[in-house]
Amino acid sequence: MKVDVHKLPQNSPDDISALDAAIATGKISPHDIVAIMGKTEGNGCVNDFTRGFAVQSLQAYLGKIIGQAQAAAIVYVMSGGTEGVLSPHLTVFTSQDSQPAQPKRMGLTLGVIHTRDFSPAEIGSLVMVEEVAEAVTKAIAAAGLAQKDVHFVQIKCPLITSRDRQLLTDEKQLGLSTGISKAVSSYQSMGYSRGASALGVAVALDEIRLEDIKAEDICQNYDLYSSIASTSAGVELRNCEILVMGNSPQSTSDFVIGHSVMQHALDVQAIHQAIAVTGQPIAQVVNIFAKAEADPTGAILGRRHTMMDDSDINHTRMARAVVGAVVASIVQDPMVYVSGGSEHQGPSGGGPVAAIAAIK
Amino acid, single-letter form, for residue 37: M
DSSP class of residue 49 equals T
CA-to-CA distance for 128 and 177, rounded, in angstroms?
Answer: 10
Q: What are phi and psi of 133, to 5 degrees?
A: -60, -45
CB 178 within 8 Å of CB 192:
yes
Closest CA to 289 of 346, 337, 349, 328: 337
Q: Which of 39, 156, 251, 253 is catalytic?
A: 156
Residues listed for the chain: 360
DSSP string, 247-305: EEEEE--SEEEEEEEESSTT-HHHHHHHHHHHTS-GGGEEEEEEEE---TTSEETTEE-
Annotated catalytic, 253?
no
Beta-carbon neighbour count of residue 159 at 10 Å? 25
Annotation marks residue 125 as catalytic: no
For residue 6, give the amino acid letter.
H
Which among 106, 44, 140 has a CA at the least distance from the CA of 255?
Answer: 106
Catalytic residue among 232, 248, 260, 342: 232
Return the amino acid letter for 219.
Answer: C
CA–CA dist 125, 105 (Å, integer): 40
Supply the residues annotated as catalytic: 156, 232
